[in-house]
Structure 1
């Protein structure tokens, strides 16, 4: 073969390669710009990051644009208290780390929101109280640090019921005002983890963290179409979190799917030497998402807690349809009832515990804050009653203020016979009752409507379409709170007013995997989650 022919063929090959590579590069750029994080799961976002369809920096920018468009403007969901001004820099650093070392795991570079009672360095921990607006912690809470170590990015801190108690104003605080439900602006987002729930539902982040004392993860998840997990008491740490009542408090995830919530629970759970309740957590944590069993309902046996029906026809209908669906999948269903006390645990157990524990535990937390922050409950009350706060656009809920005064007056009840009797006798009796019901009936879980009524009217605006005959729509939540048992809520349907309704799966200690399997099996069979109408996809 002549040299001329060889050169011609070589030139032709070069031209072909030159023609192909720009085309591939251009298409790579197109592919990069076509990934839309809207409603995407952790795995989908992680895959997009790994395949260079998007960067963490671009992800943060995307969510910040959504927060700007929908949280303070437009529908004004008002779920965010503080934006993390370091989020973009953190994202850039994680992008660089990904290039040089690879990802730390599936959460590497993924933004999340944090309820504003978790400590995050560089941001105040207000717990919704304007009295704590300058309370900057010196280290991250244990659970937040675990997620940061996994590569996740705190993009913002979220609004909540003031100091994690609603007192009739669900999702309202003097620091953040009122959070609205992105599905229906006339309804609330429950409480007290309202901000995290509304933010995740509105696609302001991939997932969120909340706390649950008597329903504060489950209620907000229920009314915003999310999966919420109240883990076994002691599976996740509470250190670095403003306490409400440590006999009842847990931290847990809020996410748009069972898989996502399971992934976050795996990342945040574990033993923390600063929280004695978590001593045995390390023996129980597992990769919940990896082990999910879509066929679990086929072989399951569930107990339907009939005591928690009857307060709203639409909720009952959706729950009954969910149970019928499970039966059609092969699930065995057994109706169960509780003792008179267990039907309503607030008055005999939860209320007195909260009143007894709050002051001492809250002040112990305040003692960890730097100079300048309030150190006593009395000081928080004084600031809350100051003319500056009382005359502001968002004064402290008067009923919440009275609750703080009650806690101040009842602090000594921590040593009372009544309190000791509740802790040492009444709580164990309730645990035994639930355990016996499950054992006698060979149940995998108890099932019930997470809340007996849909999302309620926001406190400042009447919605005549709201119907509820319940004295307390959160009654079912108190069983897990009292026993320390885990509960998972998953979307089951939507009422005529447009707000979601969820069902709960409750089990005994450390049965998270079984509950998540059941919830996942139900979720995949029903696909009941819808997208909020008030926070749609942004047009480019």
Structure 2
């Protein structure tokens, strides 16, 4: 399978339909590779029996659809009725939801085969995927197993980067599909959320272990933009995104997103921009000077207050009985997540919540809307993370890191700096591969656009990827 792992999802599906390979052989190869690479801790559970049974149905012609026989991986905070949904935390290790999350169900209805539930930062409350729950363990970056893959969807990104599967599902609250995509040379989409109404691209209410109903969303991840676009088309029932020529496309380059970068990341990102400019893209160098300050008035207030109601609502909607928010908090194994749940259970941000959600978030959204409108932009372009993957801290879960040899700074805040504001504004964002550092670590570029521009971002991503290429396979 090592020689065929550079194929896309569409190519695998075409080979199955043409009878060049069987669904069973494709699924079995993916499961075997997952077993061989179990040291990556990409999975919490493999679905060998269930996946092979589904593949046999595809080969027999009783399981059909545009994704029939395609192996996918699913983050273990997304509800599955046939497998536990643990959230990577002890109290939920054996929790079995009553039904599949709607986004996943659409993929299953189209014939996709779930080969396993992927590991994550415990309860998705972190950006490293260094899960210290004893049944999970830290996820390791396939490009350097001493380093993090990013999070919280690190298991999904690691499985895809390791060529176990071409694509799968993660979730994103403040960067959890895009940060791991950037650090593992893969692609991650955070779809439009807006204010949670009709503008929300995927509707999975109370069917994903929550942090924040305002910010949470499922997001497709893949080795290529085409893989992500395929899942998105099935999940939305809309036409498959097609390439959009870059000539004349206006991309905002705000200085705030481009400041304080790791030297290698900046070199890769600037070189990528030069290639896009040569292809006809118009790079608009106008800053958003108040953005990060405004984002700080929204971010943690929302994420550390809404779980108080959202987690019990998910437990009830999932039919999970005998487990409470207090039980979950008491069982948390990762020290950094223990700290977060201390703020949640004491409602440390409760007094600031109404102002954050009713006043400060609309101001943040207006900053984006004005910037995009006044500069005639198609999207905003920036490095997804300001630094490449740091070394795993197996004592904390998050820990600290250094940028350019400077003082140690919190890993969490450093890695979400560029992804968090768009999340809080409800915008769609697409992270794709930009190049490699001198140490052989992937670098990601992100496109953020106005609410509802998801298909256009994917179309731009297809054209950008055609110019910048895809990441080379890791040496495993």
Q: Would the TM-score normalized by the shorter structure come out above 0.5?
A: yes
Cα offset, 1:369, TM superposition: 4.4
Point out where structure 2 has 5 or more consecutive residues left out of the alignment: 194-199
Which stretch of structure 1 is more off in the superposition, 126-135 or 359-368? Answer: 359-368
Query: Could you tell me whether the CA contact under 8 Å between 1:49 and 1:56 is conserved in 2?
Result: yes
Query: Could you tell me whether the CA contact under 8 Å between 1:112 and 1:152 is conserved in 2?
Result: yes
Cα offset, 1:373, TM superposition: 4.5
Alpha-carbon distance change, 150 to 407 in structure 1, aligned in 2, over 3 angstroms: same
Cα offset, 1:406, TM superposition: 1.5
Number of aligned positions between the proteins: 458
For 2:52 and 2:106, the matched residues in 1 are separated by: 20
- Whether 1:104 and 2:65 are equivalent positions in the alignment is yes
RMSD (Å) for aligned C-alpha atoms: 2.2
User: Which one of 413, 417, 435 corresponds to residue 369 of structure 2?
Assistant: 435
For 2:56 and 2:277, the matched residues in 1 are separated by: 49
For 1:47 and 1:267, the matched residues in 2 are separated by: 16
Please give the residue correspondences for 1:480-495 in structure 2 after superposition, counting only pairs within 5 Å: 480-495=422-437
Query: Could you tell me whether the CA contact under 8 Å between 1:345 and 1:482 is conserved in 2?
Result: no
For 1:449 and 1:318, the matched residues in 2 are separated by: 9
CA deviations on 1:83-107 (whole Å, 9 max, x unpaired) are: 1131101110121126xx8x421x1
Alignment partner, residue 275 of structure 2: 325
Alignment partner, residue 441 of structure 2: 499
Alignment partner, residue 380 of structure 1: 328
For 2:87 and 2:129, the matched residues in 1 are separated by: 14
Structure 1 moving runs of 4+ over 6 Å: 461-466
Cα offset, 1:173, TM superposition: 4.2
- Whether 1:405 and 2:342 are equivalent positions in the alignment is yes
Alignment partner, residue 51 of structure 1: 18
For 1:213 and 1:436, the matched residues in 2 are separated by: 23
- Whether 1:94 and 2:78 are equivalent positions in the alignment is no
Cα offset, 1:466, TM superposition: 7.1
For 2:281 and 2:101, the matched residues in 1 are separated by: 40
Alpha-carbon distance change, 528 to 151 in structure 1, aligned in 2, over 3 angstroms: closer
CA deviations on 1:264-287 (whole Å, 9 max, x unpaired) are: 111123xxxxxxxxxxxxxxx632
User: Which one of 131, 145, 148 corresponds to residue 172 of structure 1?
Assistant: 131
Alignment partner, residue 219 of structure 2: 252
User: Which one of 216, 240, 243 corresponds to residue 292 of structure 1?
Assistant: 243
Alpha-carbon distance change, 177 to 242 in structure 1, aligned in 2, over 3 angstroms: same
- Structure whose alpha-carbon radius of gyration is higher: 1
Alignment partner, residue 420 of structure 2: 478
Alpha-carbon distance change, 131 to 287 in structure 1, aligned in 2, over 3 angstroms: same
For 1:93 and 1:406, the matched residues in 2 are separated by: 48
Cα offset, 1:337, TM superposition: 1.3
Alignment partner, residue 197 of structure 2: none
Point out where structure 1 has 5 or more consecutive residues left out of the alignment: 1-33, 270-284, 385-395, 535-540
Alignment partner, residue 388 of structure 1: none
Alignment partner, residue 361 of structure 1: 310
Query: Could you tell me whether the CA contact under 8 Å between 1:132 and 1:373 is conserved in 2?
Result: no
Alignment partner, residue 537 of structure 1: none
For 1:464 and 1:410, the matched residues in 2 are separated by: 29
Cα offset, 1:237, TM superposition: 2.0
For 1:499 and 1:524, the matched residues in 2 are separated by: 20
Cα offset, 1:402, TM superposition: 2.3
- Whether 1:312 and 2:312 are equivalent positions in the alignment is no
Please give the residue correspondences for 1:232-271 in structure 2 after superposition, counting only pairs within 5 Å: 232-233=192-193, 234-239=200-205, 240-269=207-236
Cα offset, 1:497, TM superposition: 2.1
Query: Could you tell me whether the CA contact under 8 Å between 2:186 and 2:471 is conserved in 1?
Result: yes
Cα offset, 1:333, TM superposition: 1.1
Alpha-carbon distance change, 345 to 151 in structure 1, aligned in 2, over 3 angstroms: farther
Secondary structure, in 3 states, of the residue corresponding to 2:19?
A: coil
For 1:370 and 1:435, the matched residues in 2 are separated by: 40
For 1:489 and 1:162, the matched residues in 2 are separated by: 23
Q: Which has the higher contact order (CA 8 A, sep 6+)?
A: 2
Alignment partner, residue 27 of structure 1: none
Cα offset, 1:467, TM superposition: 3.9
Cα offset, 1:473, TM superposition: 2.9
Query: Could you tell me whether the CA contact under 8 Å between 2:212 and 2:303 is conserved in 1?
Result: yes
CA deviations on 1:242-290 (whole Å, 9 max, x unpaired) are: 1110101111111011111011111123xxxxxxxxxxxxxxx63233x
